[in-house]
Structure 1
Amino acid sequence: MFRRNLGLKGISFLFAILFWLFVMNQASPDTLTGEQTYTIPLVARGLPQTMVVMTRLPSIRVRLQGINPSANVKDLYAEIDLSGGVPGENSYDVKVNPPPGTKAIDLQPSKVTLKLDSVQEKTVPVEPVITGNPAEGYELGIPLVRPSAVNVRGPSAILATLDKVIVEVSVTGANDTIQVSRPVSFRDNQGKPIFGPDPTVDILSAYPGSVDVINPVMLKGLSSKMVPLKVTSSGTPAQGKVLSSLIASPASVQVLGTAQALKGFDSLNIGPVDISNLTENKTFQIQNEKVSLPPGITFTKGTVLSVIAQIGPGVIQKEIPRVAVQIRNIGTGLDIDQPASPVNIVVEGLPDTLKNLTSDQIQLWVDASGQGAGSYTDVKLYWQLPPGVTMPTTPQVGYSLKAHEVKGE
């Protein structure tokens, strides 16, 4: 069997070896061989963070001369230096660094014209776009967006025409209040999406990128209303501490009810929160069922109430030594015989207010209107103190006046 058709088998075997050698010696399609023209990407270098390219970067055609089997065409690219770029349209040189052993003999184009713009920030309102219809027998209230505005960063030319961002919410078939978090999107004046030169890269960004939307869905015949919250407290903080402020979160809430029930309902009291012996800030979570609402009025779904009690240091005392006392409104023909001596005073205020307080910031004086020559003790003292500073006790002040002495000729 092995001896049958030996000549044909030998020739076939020889061709197989030659074909294998041919394939093994063929270069990869990604390697650089001979003189060829390649289409390579263009990369921008050195672009400042305060600038953005408003033109799509073109592809570059380059003709390479030389053979470098170790080089890969996928590693080839052209670049432009934008480190000195300024807003507006300008031409920039295109450069290619060919791999060792090769030479770029033709570059098309060798220059590109790009438009740059400065990056700016702008705060714009968020507008909810509601799509669909609620379930039969239900209707929509006024949607609430939190936060109601976002900070947008992008090219100044686009920001100049951007007056809002939108958030889309579907209410199709809803029979209860909808509370969702959705990303904001950017639309131009015709409602079309805003894209940069490269649609795959976002040219605008927002902070925060998503917002919460509460859209009341209620039985027909009900109404919704935003009412501000008012907060009360009970007790006193720990010794040496004071209640700096009470902050309701949110500042206002949306409630549902009939038009008659909502009439005249202009604010809602929550609390009191117990701040007894607090030494630091505390957040109180308020349960909705413990808040007293008028008959026929309810919270919208997802309402969460809290109160932040901010606790600060209490009033302290500080002694200010040797504060000068002025004598004002001295009568005609009188001179000061014995001036009022500097006094040590005690002042009260918050620690931050008194921390850097000096005698130069305090004015003390007595009024000598209508007084004649003589000595005066325990006179009424007047003062002017910096804001937030008080003087709980008044020091005793004395001085004397004398007739003006006329020198002889």
Structure 2
Amino acid sequence: MQLKNKVSSILIGLKNIISKSVKWILGLPKAIFDAKFSHNTGTKLLSIAMAILFWFFVMDQVDPEITRVIESVPVQLTNTQELDQNNLKIMNQTDFLVNVEVTGRRNNVLSLNSKNIYLWSDMRSVRSGVNNVFINSTINSESVSIKSVLPNEIVLTVDRVVSLPKPVQIIISDKFQDTLYEEALEINPVEIKVSGPESLVNSVSYLGGTISVNALTNDHSREVSLVPYSFDGEVVNGVSLDINYANINLVVGKTKQVSIEPVIIGEPAQGYKIVSIKVNPETVTVKGEVDLVNSLDTLKVETLQLNGDENASLIVEKGLVLPDGIKTVGLNNPIQVELTIEEIQTKEFTYSIAEIPVVNLNENYTTDLTTNPGNVIVRVTDIESIIKNLSKEDIHLDLNFSNVVDIGNYRLKINYSSEKEFNTIVIDPEYVDVNVSDIITTP
């Protein structure tokens, strides 16, 4: 027992001596600068050198305790499988780095680095939303301990993982060639599931793909890559698609202007005639698939059936007969078919035979036509608008003697000419008897 007390007293005394020595050594730098070297310079320099050597010896052997901050120590996330099982995802996933304050003997602390420190945060308590997760710590050293972790928590923003269908939209990036347009666009599939954090999936408005149509002249089919877009038209990153493309079938249409053709069956009342047939409008713009439109030049209207008792002009509205797959552009009203119907009339003109001109008679011959007392009746039959304004001066009669080569009696046909064409013209009589003789010369 006495031996034990004596050893304890020796250790306490040694501790006091070491403590006083350390304090004296720590005060050496100030003593060096305060020293005056006016007397005993050699002795004093030797004392200083010995003091410095002793100071290094003590610092190396005594090894005092110090505190140090190790920066940018990584924090590991453990039990992350719990996140997957609960359909959760960390939105601010990154390398989490914190500072660690350690304390211990100087040599051990100075030789320490971040690889000797293990920090971790357990994901089992994480839920959807903002989570403050405590940082656990351990150190691979028996002589150095962790004093503090700054900060001692990491902040995790966690979102629920969902999968929702979103519509597919195809965007045309340019314009069709003139007269061409989009007749139909089939998209398959029309919806595709988008998976990812709930906030990101909810921000997806549609899955968009882009195609160019300027070089197209006919129908077009292809696969189109899809990108998720927000309601503001921005690309949404951080989500995945069940399928990254859609199949499209673009049916190209064409517009063209074609004429309208009326269809009339039957005749008007007896003694009347259809003078003209008009349609309003005369042309119409149609649209449809390219091949169908290219095959069209005219369109017929619905058949107009005459009953045989029509005795005046009429206007009838009829619809267009459109082939399957053809539509009209800008035609809001039925087609108007206008029939101009006029009465057929006859007009008579009387000419004296003596006033009928003689043409192509041999200059050595003469005829007694000027003494013929007979008359010629000309009956012209045509529609009312022609007959109404027809006058005798519009019809020119003549007798052509070009075939008369000798004197004698002949029966010549009465010829007529007119600037207008008539439906029928009757000349009565049709022939005239004439006598051709020599011209009598007076001696």
Output the TM-score relative to the length of structure 1.
0.42
Whose relative contact order is higher, 1 or 2, with alpha carbons under 8 Å and at least 6 apart?
1
Could you say which structure has the higher helix fraction?
Answer: 2
Structure number with greater Rg is 2
